[in-house]
Structure 1
């Protein structure tokens, strides 16, 4: 049975970690660790770990015609992991950090991270703890209107580990980009991971240390 939230089928506003603007829409579904809303154009899947506030919308909304849900059946309980598994191979948009969204295809789901293939960033490893929301697109939409020949869905070139920690350790000695390169101090050679501290050597050769728990994504240029 589904969890029945008191705001289900109501128009709501939510605040999500790391995003300054409120997200508004109709609350479509509520699971143990994820919610689904429809903003009139798209479904947004929001992990509850990043939900800071949720309240009834303060303005009147025209009634939204909600299409059929993209993956789950109406009577089945939804979960974060189940949503990710269902989204594999479907063109989607992810919001993770800063003002950037990335577009592409989810290809693999591991213990605490997933792999996303993007025409811009190529293979991106994303921590499950840092996805703010996922928007699936309709089946006839492709990234940047690229044809399958222009953007073939390729398997990940890297060997995948079971955990995000192990995956980063496998990249020791590689030139990596953390958190989509939003900060130049998060671009460099991965020197080591020791006691939850990640050491990078930046462009000038200076060591920079970051706490592992705050590493959201990693990809190779």
Structure 2
């Protein structure tokens, strides 16, 4: 794969119908970096289904024009650490991205503060890619005072299953509410299964491995 660095590639990424194209910049132990002509894309290797040289050569940016310092210890967790406090776009599920700031990083999940969804718990294994915005950019061009970055007020556990246990009895939204059956009262979180009471009063059971995101409305 490293022989493709400084060449245009196209990727099939889990959960995304459209192939991702860009200039391959770097590869770490569990993450790769592309440049799409405007932004850097950080893609965890876990979700790389296929990569090949792009048959469509993208015009514009050359590797020599990109300011990039290779890192001997480039990793997913290090990328998250460096992204803390930086306005970032994340793609996790469905057809939408979410925008905001990484605020806390735990063992297998991290907290993302969004002006739309507020504090979102994101399972690390389900992040498809991360795109940092340019310095000084803010969500929706908001004044920074309108959306101050702050650490979450909830008590954080080390792991996502422990965090879900803390949320028992709370109204929760799973996977950004892409399915109405994944919104409801979290009745129990006894790993590996969780039980949610939907708006109609029915029980919905879900394996914790399929929890991509969770937030409280």
TM-score after normalising by structure 2 = 0.96
Distance in 2, matches of 1:75 and 1:211, equals: 37
What residue in structure 1 maps to residue 116 of structure 2?
120
Contact 2:22–2:37 (8 Å) recurs in 1: yes
1:199 aligns with 2:198: no
- The SS at the match of 2:92 is strand
Matched residue count: 215
What residue in structure 1 maps to residue 136 of structure 2?
140
Q: Give unpaired runs (5+ residues) of structure 2.
A: none
- The SS at the match of 1:97 is coil
CA shift for structure 1 position 140:
2.0
Distance in 1, matches of 2:117 and 2:188, equals: 23
- 1:162-215, Cα deviation, whole Å (9 max, x unpaired): 001101111000000000001000000000122411100000010000111000
CA shift for structure 1 position 17:
0.2
Distance in 1, matches of 2:24 and 2:90, equals: 19
- 1:54-111, Cα deviation, whole Å (9 max, x unpaired): 0000112224145324xxx424331001100111000000000000100000001110
CA shift for structure 1 position 128:
0.4
Q: Give unpaired runs (5+ residues) of structure 1.
A: none
| Deviates further, 113-122 or 53-62 | 53-62
- 1:130-178, Cα deviation, whole Å (9 max, x unpaired): 0000000011211000011111112202110000110111100000000
The 4+ residue runs of structure 1 with deviation greater than 4 A are none
1:24 aligns with 2:18: no
1:53 aligns with 2:50: yes
Contact 2:113–2:120 (8 Å) recurs in 1: yes
Larger proportion of helix: 2
Root-mean-square deviation (CA, aligned residues, Å) is 1.2
Give the direction of change, closer, same or farther, for the CA distance of 1:75–1:129 in structure 2 (3 Å limit). Answer: closer
